[in-house]
Structure 1
Amino acid sequence: MCSSRERARILFQQSVCCSSRWCCRVQWRWHSTAAVTKGEVDDIKENVQLNKRKPKTGILMLNMGGPETLDDVHDFLLRLFLDKDLIPLPAQSKLAPFIARRRTPKIQEQYHRIGGGSPIKMWTAVQGDGMVKLLDEYSPETAPHKFYIGFRYVHPLTEEAIEEMEKDGIERAVAFTQYPQYSCSTTGSSLNAIYRYYSGRRTAPKMKWSTIDRWPTHPLLIQCVADHVWQELDRFPAEKRADVVILFSAHSLPMSVVNRGDPYPQEVGATVQRVMETLNFCNPYRLVWQSKVGPLPWLGPSTDDTIKGLCERGKKNLLLVPIAFTSDHIETLHELDIEYAQILGNKCGVENIRRAESLNGNQLFIKALADLVNTHLKSAATSSKQLSLRCPLCVNPVCGETKAFFAKQNL
Structure 2
Amino acid sequence: MAFRLPSQMPRRICASKSSSFGLSQLSSRARGLATVVPPVTQDATGSKGPTAMVFMNMGGPQTTDQVGDFLSRLFSDGDLIPLGRLQSYIGPLLSKRRTPKIQKQYSDIGGGSPIRKWSEYQNEEMCKILDKISPETAPHKPYVAFRYANPLTEHMYQQLLDDGFGKGRGGRAVAFTQYPQYSCSTTGSSLNELWKWRHRLESKHNGGEGAINWSVIDRWPVHHGLVEAFAQHIEAKLAEYPEERRKDVVLLFSAHSLPMSVVNRGDPYPAEVAATVYAVMQRLKFSNPYRLCWQSQVGPSAWLGPQTSDTVENFIKKGQKDLVLIPIAFTSDHIETLYELDLEVIGESGHADTVKRAESLNGSPVFIEALADIAKNHLASGESCSPQMGLRCPACTSERCAVTKEFFAGKQAQSYPGDKVLAQ
Q: TM-score, normalised by structure 1?
A: 0.86
Task: Spell out, residue by residue over 1:98-151, the C-alpha distance to the aligned partner (whole angstroms, 9 max, x if none).
Answer: 211111111101100100000000001110110110111111111111010000
1:364 CA displacement: 1.1
Could you tell me which of 317, 320, 325 is aligned with 2:325? 320
Distance 1:255 1:43 in 2: 38
Distance 1:57 1:351 in 2: 47
Could you tell me which of 354, 359, 378 is aligned with 1:376? 378
Task: Spell out, residue by residue over 1:46-93, the C-alpha distance to the aligned partner (whole angstroms, 9 max, x if none).
Answer: 7x55x8776710011000000000000111111111111111113212
Question: Who is 2:273 aligned against?
Answer: 268
Question: Who is 1:36 aligned against?
Answer: none
State whether structure 2 residue 177 is matched by structure 1 residue 177. yes
CA distance 1:215–1:45, change in 2 (3 Å): closer
CA distance 1:155–1:42, change in 2 (3 Å): closer
Distance 1:211 1:45 in 2: 22
Give, as a single letter, the amino acid of the residue that structure 2 aligns with 1:103: R
Distance 1:141 1:325 in 2: 31
Task: Spell out, residue by residue over 1:169-191, the C-alpha distance to the aligned partner (whole angstroms, 9 max, x if none).
Answer: 23111000000000000000000
Q: Is the contact between residue 129 and residue 369 of structure 2 (CA under 8 Å) also seen in structure 1? A: yes
Question: Who is 1:158 aligned against?
Answer: 153
CA RMSD, 1 decimal: 1.9
Question: Who is 2:302 aligned against?
Answer: 297
State whether structure 2 residue 122 is matched by structure 1 residue 127. yes
1:200 CA displacement: 3.7
1:94 CA displacement: 1.9
Total equivalences in the alignment: 367
Task: Spell out, residue by residue over 1:247-278, the C-alpha distance to the aligned partner (whole angstroms, 9 max, x if none).
Answer: 00001111000000000000000000000000
1:97 CA displacement: 1.1
Q: How does 1:73-92 map to 2 (within 5 A)?
A: 73-90=67-84, 91-92=86-87
Distance 1:158 1:286 in 2: 36
* Identity of matched residues, %: 55
Distance 2:158 2:344 in 1: 39
1:293 CA displacement: 2.5
Distance 2:253 2:337 in 1: 12
Q: Is the contact between residue 33 and residue 118 of structure 2 (CA under 8 Å) also seen in structure 1? A: no
1:241 CA displacement: 1.4
Give, as a single letter, the amino acid of the residue that structure 1 aligns with 2:143: Y
Q: Is the contact between residue 44 and residue 129 of structure 1 (CA under 8 Å) also seen in structure 2? A: no
Distance 2:242 2:375 in 1: 40
State whether structure 2 residue 285 is matched by structure 1 residue 280. yes
Which one has a larger percent helix, Structure 1 or Structure 2? 1
Distance 2:354 2:271 in 1: 30
Gaps (5+ residues) in structure 1?
Answer: 1-40
Q: Is the contact between residue 113 and residue 334 of structure 1 (CA under 8 Å) also seen in structure 2? A: yes
Task: Spell out, residue by residue over 1:346-390, the C-alpha distance to the aligned partner (whole angstroms, 9 max, x if none).
Answer: 1xx576011000000011111111111110010000000001100
Give, as a single letter, the amino acid of the residue that structure 1 aligns with 2:184: C
1:398 CA displacement: 0.7
Q: How does 1:189-200 map to 2 (within 5 A)?
A: 189-200=189-200
Question: Who is 2:399 aligned against?
Answer: 397
Question: Who is 1:352 aligned against?
Answer: 354
Gaps (5+ residues) in structure 2?
Answer: 1-30, 43-48, 166-170, 415-424
State whether structure 2 residue 136 is matched by structure 1 residue 141. yes
Q: TM-score, normalised by structure 2?
A: 0.83
Q: Is the contact between residue 34 and residue 117 of structure 2 (CA under 8 Å) also seen in structure 1? A: no
Q: Is the contact between residue 175 and residue 217 of structure 2 (CA under 8 Å) also seen in structure 1? A: yes
Give, as a single letter, the amino acid of the residue that structure 1 aligns with 2:226: L
Question: Who is 1:15 aligned against?
Answer: none
Distance 2:174 2:328 in 1: 24
Question: Who is 1:329 aligned against?
Answer: 334
Q: Is the contact between residue 328 and residue 358 of structure 1 (CA under 8 Å) also seen in structure 2? A: yes
Give, as a single letter, the amino acid of the residue that structure 1 aligns with 2:285: N
CA distance 1:365–1:410, change in 2 (3 Å): farther
Give, as a single letter, the amino acid of the residue that structure 2 aligns with 1:83: D
SS at match of 1:176: strand
1:337 CA displacement: 0.5
Distance 1:76 1:44 in 2: 20
CA distance 1:280–1:43, change in 2 (3 Å): closer
Give, as a single letter, the amino acid of the residue that structure 2 aligns with 1:68: Q
Distance 2:151 2:182 in 1: 22
